Structure 1
Amino acid sequence: MNYLYNNLINSDIQKPNFYKDVFPYEDLPKVTFDNIQIPMDLPNNIWITDTTFRDGQQSLSPFTVKQMVQLYSYLHKLDNHSGIIQQTEFFLYTEKDREAIYQCLSLGYTFPEITSWIRADKEDFNLVKSLEIKETGILMSCSDYHIFKKLNMTREEAMKKYLSIVEDALANEITPRCHLEDITRADFFGFVIPLVNQLIKLSKQANKKIKIRACDTLGLGVSYAGVALPRSVQKIIYGLKHYGKVPSEWLEWHGHNDFYSAVTNAVTAWLYGCASINTTLLGIGERTGNCPLEAMIIEYGQLKGNTKKMNLHFITEIAQYFEREFNYSIPPKTPFVGKEFNVTRAGIHADGVLKDEEIYNIFNTEKILGRPIVVAVNQYSGLAGIAAWINTYYRLKGNAKINKKDPRIKPIKDWVDQQYRCGRTTMITNEELELLVKKHVPEVFHTKSPWLFNTF
């Protein structure tokens, strides 16, 4: 089915193709359409990989060895032997990175498997061999922006350099994972497919796996139907499978969030035939960050109907660890990990929560994430909001729940109203409400099981 392919352009050209009609630079990038529709092709088996210790770490102060081992252990506990988080990758360049790898390997975990990342450089590859790592990512810049401007090479020179490192990897029984950097600005049929064709040829000759990671380095990928290359996520994955002859299980998508599209593009890659999505914890990474691992776990669960044996409570624990250990500030409204992601303030919403939390909660966040729904109290909360706060904060169930008509609620509401009549502009804090509950509803005070995140 030749949806896209006519004739391959010679992979070696003298004049680079910068797609200036799509990327004018002095203006916003353009979305161009060819109106060619690509069929969906969700693989039977999909999974997630992690680059927190490589791409993610570049956006924060360098992790210590102890911190890397702790985060690796968290990834293992979150995966919980499900195999959904299959791999994580490390730098190799410093003694600290190598020590972290040794300590993580010594834990003996199957998932996530430890892999490495290197430039297409012989000296870098010697580091991989010295650590006896079974798989390594290899940087292969594939846009003319990178080949001509960064590497100062021709396409032919770049391709020869990349293929040479892959040959070394295969000869040393190391699985190469080819990181096609900046693929959303690359000449897909002029360079990407010729390169991938050569890689698959080497794979067949050696009878060994060669993985392909499609890297949306600047987050320029677009998921809409009918978008033209080089920005179409659908056509990149379709093209790698059908013209590059890369099996789904050898394909991986790595996307950045520069245009708010990291999650959407990653899910699109899954839907159109890519088995693996590369992520970071909390989406950390340079500029706007990477695709968040926790987001893709939730997407996985929605697509597949379950998350196998994963322990999603560790999403919450990991977020707490980042805030505590790295003084990392998670925007409070961030889905699944922000302090306010399942907090309601509106009085009418609080009244709904009081009747049944399913009305305004996205799913059972307490059961799945260890994050009970919380109602914040302000000038708009009313009796229903205060009653809902008490029920959620103290985790009251069944007949123990407080009704908005309970007369003990009124003096608390009177106190709240007086605060705002006197000019208060901030939320009522949990600590203030605790004192009021202790005074007016002492029966529930000792059932307290407060949620660490939700303090205002």
Structure 2
Amino acid sequence: MSKEYKYKPIDVTEANLYNEYFPYEEIPKVAINNKIVPLNLPEEIWITDTTFRDGQQSMSSFTVRQILKLYDYLHEIDNNMGVIRQSEFFLYSSRDREAVRKCQERGYEFPQITSWIRADEKDFELVKKMEIKETGMLMSCSDYHIFKKLGLNRREAMEKYITVANKALDAGITPRCHLEDITRADFYGFVVPLVKNINELGKKANIQAKFRACDTLGLGLPYGGVELPRSVPAIISGLREECGIPSKALEWHGHNDYHNVVTNSTSAWLYGAASVNTTLLGVGERTGNSPLEAMLVEYAQLKGQKGIRLELIREVCEYFSREFDYTIDAKRPFVGSEFNMTKAGVHADGILKYEPIYNSFDTKKILNSPVVIKVNQSSGLAGITAWINSYYNLKGHNKINKRDLRVQSIKNWIDNEYESGRNTDITSNELVNLTNRYFSVELANLEMDQLDEVN
């Protein structure tokens, strides 16, 4: 390696695959060292988006029109708050570049447009031509990638990465170094010297280089007392303290292979990274990326909702379903059609008495998703009454009481259905017809615009 670079990797002749943690014939292991890292939530945190890069890789290619519409949604949800701060794009095809130009023409401050390239000098020329001020650069860090995929050793990999980072710095472009597969990498033997070298080059160029810690296989663990390389707290605090990287230059990128993507992202914030990387609805390779909507809710819990327009997320869901024939799990938090649905009679009874008992926040106001009541054999009088009050938006003295004899008549009809062998929920159409039959004409003729949506 050139003498210009102060920090040398610990070169090894054979790849260190951490087989003690990742025996391929078994489930990966959790190693505990009981070393607790203090929390260090930055004063300012934000979200970045990779829907048009990592997200698009897992779906059919987006058209320019679709990319522009989704970019508009990101801007509208952010509402000029700078919480959704950046969105990254591919530059390889003519369609990719046209989409970037169209988005650039919007002139939005947020999300800022960045790009993604391999650590390759030819790729870097695309960034310069598109006049993009910041670009992600793929820098594979684990020996799985360095030895087994790239066919290099650590010294050669570091030289390759630093050369391209230098190209960006020389051109006045901020390099965002994507530390791929960091949760299987030799942190002190390769990651730390690489990051310190690039950071020093950035200081000489008067540009703060950025670093994205990429949990490529979702192996990161969010809790304290876990050993490297899997510990999110140790990775983030290590990049800050060992490498001197400020929080504003640290970002986390996760995958959901082990159901930890949201908690890992939040953990990265809590231990000092200012930024977490997401996609709309969590689309992405294999099990997907951290869902943007989930991290917006996490952000609101940590910092407050501010002016973020969370109610637009429902529109995004409808757009995905329509444009990409994309199915959203009905039970998926915040975006599923049944995420705040209740069927149990005892729950419906609680909602009748005081909605916050079984709804932790006003989902109608904040997410444009009112509480949904489904009626089945277990709903009882409370469930039927809650459905009527919710469906017809009855408030105050207009609300129906579960002791109303007309509710009992509807329940008798429903009980008979299940006694006769029915095993499906009662549909909204059926409940509307029953309401028409047993309640006043005035109630039965109330607006029913939501019927198809509820069904």
Q: TM-score range by the shorter chain?
A: over 0.9
1:382 counterpart = 2:380: yes
Query: Per the alignment, do residues 35 and 101 of structure 1 end up closer, same or farther by CA in structure 2, a change over 3 Å counting?
Result: same
Query: Which residues in structure 2 correspond to 1:311-330 (within 5 Å)?
Result: 311-330=309-328
1:428 counterpart = 2:430: no
Letter in 2 for 1:399: H
Query: Which residues in structure 2 correspond to 1:93-242 (within 5 Å)?
Result: 93-242=92-241
Could you tell me whether the CA contact under 8 Å between 2:214 and 2:253 is conserved in 1?
Answer: yes
Post-superposition offset of 1:438? 2.5
Post-superposition offset of 1:101? 0.8
Could you tell me whether the CA contact under 8 Å between 2:9 and 2:194 is conserved in 1?
Answer: no
Deviant stretches of 4+, over 2 Å = 8-13, 438-456
User: What secondary structure sits across from 1:352 in the alignment?
Assistant: helix
- Residue in 2 that maps onto 1:5: none
Q: Tell me the distance in 2 between the aligned counterparts of 1:52 and 1:449.
A: 36
C-alpha offsets along residues 83-118 of structure 1, whole Å, 9 cap, x if unaligned? Answer: 100001111111111111111111111111111100
Could you tell me whether the CA contact under 8 Å between 2:428 and 2:451 is conserved in 1?
Answer: no
User: What secondary structure sits across from 1:87 in the alignment?
Assistant: strand
Tell me the percent identity. 59
- Residue in 2 that maps onto 1:373: 371
Letter in 1 for 2:42: P
Could you tell me whether the CA contact under 8 Å between 1:372 and 1:451 is conserved in 2?
Answer: no
Letter in 2 for 1:419: E
Letter in 1 for 2:18: Y
Q: Tell me the distance in 1 between the aligned counterparts of 2:377 and 2:63.
A: 45
Query: Per the alignment, do residues 9 and 114 of structure 1 end up closer, same or farther by CA in structure 2, a change over 3 Å counting?
Result: closer
Return 260-269 or 400-409, whichever deviates more.
400-409
Post-superposition offset of 1:48? 0.4
User: What secondary structure sits across from 2:137 in the alignment?
Assistant: strand
Q: Tell me the distance in 1 between the aligned counterparts of 2:220 and 2:444.
A: 52
C-alpha offsets along residues 7-62 of structure 1, whole Å, 9 cap, x if unaligned? Answer: x9843222221111011111111110111111110000000000011001111111
Letter in 1 for 2:17: F
Q: Tell me the distance in 2 between the aligned counterparts of 1:19 and 1:382.
A: 56
Q: Tell me the distance in 2 between the aligned counterparts of 1:117 and 1:9.
A: 26
Could you tell me whether the CA contact under 8 Å between 2:48 and 2:86 is conserved in 1?
Answer: yes
Could you tell me whether the CA contact under 8 Å between 1:374 and 1:454 is conserved in 2?
Answer: no
1:81 counterpart = 2:73: no
- Residue in 2 that maps onto 1:244: 243
Return 439-448 or 103-112, whichever deviates more.
439-448
Could you tell me whether the CA contact under 8 Å between 2:179 and 2:214 is conserved in 1?
Answer: yes
Q: Tell me the distance in 2 between the aligned counterparts of 1:452 and 1:348.
A: 24
Post-superposition offset of 1:160? 0.8
Could you tell me whether the CA contact under 8 Å between 1:143 and 1:186 is conserved in 2?
Answer: yes
Matched length = 448
Return 425-434 or 232-241, whichever deviates more.
425-434
1:92 counterpart = 2:95: no
Across the aligned residues of Structure 1 and Structure 2, the Cα RMSD in angstroms comes to 1.3
Of 406, 413, 416, which residue of structure 2 is paired with 1:415?
Answer: 413
C-alpha offsets along residues 141-162 of structure 1, whole Å, 9 cap, x if unaligned? Answer: 0000000011101111111111
Letter in 1 for 2:336: G
Q: Tell me the distance in 2 between the aligned counterparts of 1:213 and 1:164.
A: 18
Post-superposition offset of 1:419? 1.4
Letter in 2 for 1:67: Q
User: What secondary structure sits across from 2:212 in the alignment?
Assistant: strand
Return 414-423 or 42-51, whichever deviates more.
414-423
Post-superposition offset of 1:451? 4.2
Q: Tell me the distance in 2 between the aligned counterparts of 1:452 and 1:72.
A: 31
Return 54-63 or 443-452, whichever deviates more.
443-452
Q: Which ranges in structure 1 are unaligned for 5 or more consecutive residues?
A: 1-7
C-alpha offsets along residues 378-425 of structure 1, whole Å, 9 cap, x if unaligned? Answer: 011111111100111222211111111122222222221121111111
Return 200-209 or 437-446, whichever deviates more.
437-446
Q: Tell me the distance in 2 between the aligned counterparts of 1:36 and 1:370.
A: 43
Could you tell me whether the CA contact under 8 Å between 1:393 and 1:450 is conserved in 2?
Answer: no
Query: Per the alignment, do residues 202 and 349 of structure 1 end up closer, same or farther by CA in structure 2, a change over 3 Å counting?
Result: same
User: What secondary structure sits across from 1:320 in the alignment?
Assistant: helix
Could you tell me whether the CA contact under 8 Å between 1:395 and 1:448 is conserved in 2?
Answer: no
- Residue in 2 that maps onto 1:266: 265
- Residue in 2 that maps onto 1:282: 281
Post-superposition offset of 1:323? 1.3
C-alpha offsets along residues 229-283 of structure 1, whole Å, 9 cap, x if unaligned? Answer: 0000000001000011100000000000000000011111000000000001111
TM-score (norm 2): 0.96
Could you tell me whether the CA contact under 8 Å between 1:47 and 1:83 is conserved in 2?
Answer: yes
User: What secondary structure sits across from 1:408 in the alignment?
Assistant: helix
- Residue in 1 that maps onto 2:329: 331
User: What secondary structure sits across from 1:389 in the alignment?
Assistant: helix
Post-superposition offset of 1:78? 0.6
Post-superposition offset of 1:449? 5.3
Letter in 1 for 2:275: S
Q: Tell me the distance in 1 between the aligned counterparts of 2:401 and 2:442.
A: 14
Could you tell me whether the CA contact under 8 Å between 2:9 and 2:155 is conserved in 1?
Answer: no
Post-superposition offset of 1:448? 2.9
Post-superposition offset of 1:450? 4.9
Post-superposition offset of 1:440? 2.3
Could you tell me whether the CA contact under 8 Å between 1:340 and 1:454 is conserved in 2?
Answer: no
Letter in 2 for 1:170: L
Q: Which ranges in structure 2 are unaligned for 5 or more consecutive residues?
A: 1-6
Q: Tell me the distance in 2 between the aligned counterparts of 1:452 and 1:332.
A: 17
C-alpha offsets along residues 312-332 of structure 1, whole Å, 9 cap, x if unaligned? Answer: 111111111111221111111
Letter in 2 for 1:361: N
Q: Tell me the distance in 1 between the aligned counterparts of 2:450 and 2:256.
A: 30
